Structure 1
């Protein structure tokens, strides 16, 4: 989200739901692109939406350089077909999202190969629980969750923390710290560091922000 808006500030134009159909050149020098437009069509079964081409909406764009950057997908060719591991509509490995067991007993999946590209925080958090579950499975052959992991699931369902919630009442909210960022004119034509990170004081203030602990206390009581 932040990277997108920073790019827009620097003059980058995004054309969503489109794809290059052909490249036009003169004497092997790239001159223009033929771009098709698409529309996002929801999956009635709740799966991944599909892109369908909009007929008659293609256009030509002058071009000097073309840098392909084509998303990410899970490479699951290492999984033997005879295992018949169930996949999601996003072509990732399906689990129940709690203990990370797949449709084949003894095979676990977590992180990007389960949910697709995410943040490192999500991936590491899932890997931690998956390792916890797998260690107990190796020891006794059973799939179990610790009390802490069960509580995590309860808190997630109760939505104890909602970053969009407007904090009111006796415990006011503290605003998130933002690191210093180079101005557009300073960063748009070079490879300088854009964000300087937190100072020690800012880092401490961010770490001390309340995560609605009194909600958790009420649940635990």
Structure 2
């Protein structure tokens, strides 16, 4: 006989959504720009436009936590490796001639930081960001791998809540890589451990431990 408490405990807990998404099809570039202007900059939703498809995504807690924690890891790496960085967060990246508009979770200039230091980036004349991070835990209809490949972003990280995929641009096409070209010292296991420890030990303690580990590796 199953007791009431056992029956309640046996019911699986529904996992909260990480993102809310709405996808619109057959949207013109002009309509996309009008929607951008109408929504303005002070909004939670992020817009991605590619191949006539417009996705409006609102990030929720799991999404934002993963994005922020990976962003912290990237900043720790640049600090300890003495690399300059220009962080553009979810800045709208538009390439009108290719009809591409993206608002990634994180967007960085590192190798090309001197070329865009102290200026507003214009992708018509400036190089694309060196590293882009996208957190996509729920399904997206946008082919972001193809989109960033077309934008010629040298390194693209994609995290789905459990797995990190690193894509490196080689002869115009992305190839999945076990390591980062920007941070050769970094392994995926280090990323997973960092994210896990943020949950169990807190972000401050995790950052301190990660910094100490990096310093020890650099000194070897």
TM-score (norm 1): 0.26
Which one has a larger percent strand, Structure 1 or Structure 2? 2
Which one has a larger percent helix, Structure 1 or Structure 2? 2
Bigger relative contact order, structure 1 or 2, given CA contacts below 8 A and separation 6+? 2
TM-score (norm 2): 0.26
Structure label with greater radius of gyration = 1
